Amino acid sequence: MRFNWAMAAASYATVAGLFVDIGGHVRHDVDTFFTWQHALFYSGLVLLCAIAGSEALRCRRAGTALPRGYALSVAGIFLFFIAGALDMSNHLVFGFEAGFDALLSPTHQLLAVALLLIAAGPLRAALAATPRPFRLREQMPMLVSAATILELLHMGTNPLFRSDPERAFDIVVPHELTTNAFTLSTLHFYAQGAGLVAVILQSIFTMGVVLYLVRSFKLRPGALSTLLVLGNCLIAVAFGISWSEALGVIVASAFAGAVGDLFLVKQPAIASHRGAYLCFAFAVPAIYQAAFLAWVVGFMGGTWWDPLFAIGTIFYGGLFGLLLCYLTLAREERGT
């Protein structure tokens, strides 16, 4: 249990360092590999190596193997070393990528794969345990592990994490029929479309992790609040335009998690109760979107989205959570 906690915390801290590094690149013109942000990120690898190495030595002395579920984490640590060396060489020779190139860089994708392999260790260990963790305290390492995975999914799709409903992002279209009006109308249309895609995509990612967990474990109340707050706070802080926007994401995550936890109070094995399971899958992402919009309206000067569009995004968030949930049901559970 102590090893699970250590690996979960160190993996989350490493990904936190990654977001600090990404935030530095977003806000500043970085032209060297040797920055304190990079040092913070790679120090997480040193910590992970120390934890895994000390456990391997302990197991060797005891004549046992590493705990089940961690073989891929060890492979991930070795891959991380290789990817880090390649990434440093790439930056020293070719400089730093910008925009989408930084997101799609092969060395960055290798680093992300390595982090996924490492971070999923506590979750794999929980899946391999007999019996599986039941108390909230026992489930916490795998919840932190799942939150780390969710943050990495956000990182890989960060251009579509923010839906930008704040009034500050309004694109005003003049009433006169001019060339500028056509241009602004097009920008307005695509800005709304990008916002809707962000809502849908993040609903799918979030509920993909949530539904996997509720089908694999009997989650205790408090589990989903922990998962969603930890799984959204790093990306919110790293890419938020303001602290108010970042706090809005965290508050909305807490509200959505609390609603999910209310379902778990009555139905710990909610996946076995078809009606409650479907309502749960719709409610969690819909409440998240509704709470975030309420925060924008109440504390960020309002929204440029019209009421029909705003309400529609709430429905779409819930709808895609529901559709994803329906796909997880076995054929005999789907009914007609």
pLDDT at position 3 over 70: yes
Which pLDDT score, from 0 to 100, does residue 205 have?
95
Which pLDDT score, from 0 to 100, does residue 176 have?
64
Q: Mean of the pLDDT values across residues 37-65?
A: 83
* Dihedral over Cα of 267, 127, 321, 331: its sign: negative
148, 244, 318, 270 alpha-carbon torsion, rounded to 10°? 50
Mind listing the pLDDT tens digit for each residue in 164-218?
A: 999 888 877 766 666 777 788 888 888 889 999 999 999 999 999 999 999 999 9
Stronger pLDDT, 306 or 177, i.e. the higher one: 306
The encoded tokens of residue 162 equal 């923010």
Which pLDDT score, from 0 to 100, does residue 174 have?
67
Q: How far apart are the first and last CA of the chain?
A: 44
Q: Taking a C-beta distance cutoff of 8 angstroms, is the pair 79, 106 a contact?
A: no
Q: Taking a C-beta distance cutoff of 8 angstroms, is the pair 28, 128 a contact?
A: no
Q: Residue ranges of the domains in the chain?
A: 1-140, 157-336
Q: How far apart, in whole angstroms, are the C-alpha atoms of residue 301 and residue 293?
A: 11
Which pLDDT score, from 0 to 100, does residue 105 have?
83
Q: What is the largest CA-CA distance in the chain?
A: 80
What angle in degrees, to the nearest 10, is found between the helix axes of 136-156 and 179-216?
150
Identify which of 241, 204, 149 has the alpha carbon closest to the alpha carbon of residue 322.
Answer: 204
Q: What is the CA radius of gyration of the chain?
A: 22
Identify which of 306, 294, 21 has the alpha carbon closest to the alpha carbon of residue 155.
Answer: 21
pLDDT at position 331 over 60: no
Which residue has 């060396």 as its token pair?
A: 85
Mind listing the pLDDT tens digit for each residue in 261-279?
A: 999 998 878 888 889 999 9
Write out the DSSP string of 240-309: -SSHHHHHHHHHHHHHHHHHHHHHHHH-TTGGGSHHHHHHHHHHHHHHHHHHHHHHHHHHSS-BSS-HHH
Q: How far apart, in whole angstroms, are the C-alpha atoms of residue 281 and residue 323?
A: 8
Of 8-17, 33-42, 92-101, 139-148, which one has max mean pLDDT? 139-148
Which pLDDT score, from 0 to 100, does residue 11 have?
93
Which pLDDT score, from 0 to 100, does residue 270 have?
86
Which pLDDT score, from 0 to 100, does residue 146 have?
97
Mind listing the pLDDT tens digit for each residue in 68-127?
A: 889 899 899 889 889 888 887 877 777 766 667 777 788 888 988 999 999 999 999 999
**Average pLDDT value over all residues in the chain:** 87
